[in-house]
A and B are shown apart, each in its own frame.
Chain A
Amino acid sequence: DSGVTQTPKHLITATGQRVTLRCSPRSGDLSVYWYQQSLDQGLQFLIQYYNGEERAKGNILERFSAQQFPDLHSELNLSSLELGDSALYFCASSVGGQGFNVLTFGAGSRLTVL
């Protein structure tokens, strides 16, 4: 157990739907990162939050949004889902907000869009 908790572990939904993925960072970590892993694109950085504020943005689609709450948990919202959104979504956390921090990853949420 890495200390980073992601729910749900598996999610199957239909095209056009909206889902929310949840992440609780490791105790003491202030920064949360979201990554998407698919076979063809590899591990893509989506977005980072540090202590409630957006810190860095990567290849996140406009249909996707995220936020970090005062208790530091984060949610990634995916809407108007397409087949190509099927992937493993990882949350990671770190103590600091800089890119050189070591990341602790959760076990991931596997999203299947049918």
Chain B
Amino acid sequence: SQQGEEDPQALSIQEGENATMNCSYKTSINNLQWYRQNSGRGLVHLILIRSNEREKHSGRLRVTLDTSKKSSSLLITASRAADTASYFCATDGRAGTALIFGKGTTLSVSS
């Protein structure tokens, strides 16, 4: 069963615009992670935010976490065509079970 649900399912923007993806989850977590997948390839880890953190930055990425609402957002600033990919949030349960992934947001950035 899915722990995280990303929203929107698909997002199309122009180069230079910002892209925001949201993730909602159901149970308490130790941390939340975001991964990226280029078409048909393996997932690549982008960023991890712990349950006691509210915001984290990595280059053009900004992740927020609201544990009271059980939600997270991933912001990609100044998007590039190379950012075209699917983005997944993943959460663990408090019991430390394996990462459970959402169905992802497909981002398309056109030049």
**Residue positions of A touching B, CB distance < 8 A:** 2, 4, 33, 35, 42-43, 45, 48, 55-56, 58-59, 88, 90, 92, 98-100, 102-108, 110
**How far is the CB of B33 from the nearest CB of chain A, in Å?**
7
Find out whether the CB atom of B42 lies under 8 angstroms from the CB atom of A105: yes
Q: What are the 10 closest A-B residue pairs judged by CB atoms, nearest first?
A: A99-B92, A105-B42, A42-B103, A43-B101, A100-B30, A98-B96, A99-B96, A105-B43, A56-B98, A48-B98
Query: Which residue on A lies nearest to B90, using beta carbons?
Result: A103
**How far is the CB of B74 from the nearest CB of chain A, in Å?**
16
- Near A by CB (< 8 A), chain B positions 77-98 give 88, 90, 92-93, 95-98
Find out whether the CB atom of B93 lies under 8 angstroms from the CB atom of A42: no
Indicate if B2 sits at the interface (CB-CB under 8 A): yes
CA distance A99 to B50 in the complex (A): 12
Find out whether the CB atom of B42 lies under 8 angstroms from the CB atom of A99: no
CA distance A33 to B97 in the complex (A): 11
Find out whether the CB atom of A43 lies under 8 angstroms from the CB atom of B88: yes
**How far is the CB of B105 from the nearest CB of chain A, in Å?**
12
**How far is the CB of A90 from the nearest CB of chain B, in Å?**
6
CA distance A106 to B44 in the complex (A): 9
**How far is the CB of A100 from the nearest CB of chain B, in Å?**
4
CA distance A89 to B102 in the complex (A): 16
Query: Which residue on A lies nearest to B48, using beta carbons?
Result: A102
Residues of B within 8 A of A104 (CB): 45
Query: Which residue on B lies nearest to A107, using beta carbons?
Result: B42
Sample of 24 A–B contacts (CB below 8 Å) = A2-B44, A33-B99, A35-B101, A42-B101, A42-B103, A43-B88, A45-B101, A48-B98, A56-B97, A88-B40, A92-B43, A99-B92, A99-B95, A99-B98, A100-B30, A100-B31, A100-B48, A102-B33, A103-B99, A105-B42, A108-B40, A108-B41, A108-B42, A110-B40
